[in-house]
Structure 1
Amino acid sequence: MISFVYILFSEKMNRFYTGITTLSIKERLENHIKKKYSRLNFTHKAEDWKLVWELECISYSQARKIEIHIKKMKSKVYIQNLLKYPEMKRKLQSQFHE
């Protein structure tokens, strides 16, 4: 099943959010903005989320591995490099292939 890893950014919070979905990115973003998820969800804290990065994956498993990798980096600089260097997408896809 095709899945996506995505990164959102909130100017209000000056924070990034990394997630995965099997929905369309547009639908998932709308759900975050409309706060359709639990109040405990991190994205519930702001309403100005913007999609800044996305990566299509061949499976949910691959997407999950990439999401975990990005989150484990715990680095704004790493995310900024993902935004700056598009070739990093191919590296992630090959590093976390099925």
Structure 2
Amino acid sequence: MKLWYIYIMTNKPQGVIYIGVTDNLHERVKEHKLKIHPNSFTAKYNCDKLVYFEEWNDDFEATQREKQFKKWKRDWKIKLIEDMNPSWMDISKNWNFNFNKIRE
């Protein structure tokens, strides 16, 4: 069964918030860190820290949840992050990324 992820990236605690959805969280976070798309929002604002994610079994439900998050007030998003990750730690910090290979 394929899993889907809604995730939140930031540049620093209480900083810029980016919300996305993907079916490969590990690779997507790596793309943000490497700024594969240099003109993207996350590259422009240096959003390279994963601070929150949710796992979903259904792509439609994941996409709906992402849209819901994007409509939320900033304070609600911050509360969501801080309930799971009060220090805004980069959850992906200890992941073993292979920066020599990018998914195509």
Normalising TM by the smaller chain, what interval? 0.7 to 0.9
Partner in structure 1 of residue 70 of structure 2: 71
1:22 is displaced (CA, Å) by 0.5
Q: Which AA in structure 2 matches 1:6?
A: Y
Higher helix share: 1
Post-superposition, which runs of at least 4 consecutive aligned residues in structure 1 deviate over 4 A?
none
1:16 is displaced (CA, Å) by 0.5
CA distance in 2: counterparts of 1:13 and 1:53, whole angstroms: 13
How many residue pairs end up in the alignment?
83
Structure 1, unpaired ranges of 5+: 87-98
Partner in structure 2 of residue 22 of structure 1: 23
TM, length-normalised to structure 2: 0.69
Superposition RMSD in Å: 2.2
Structure 2, unpaired ranges of 5+: 85-104
TM, length-normalised to structure 1: 0.73
Partner in structure 1 of residue 34 of structure 2: 34
8 A Cα contact 1:13 1:46, kept in partner: no
Name the % identity. 25
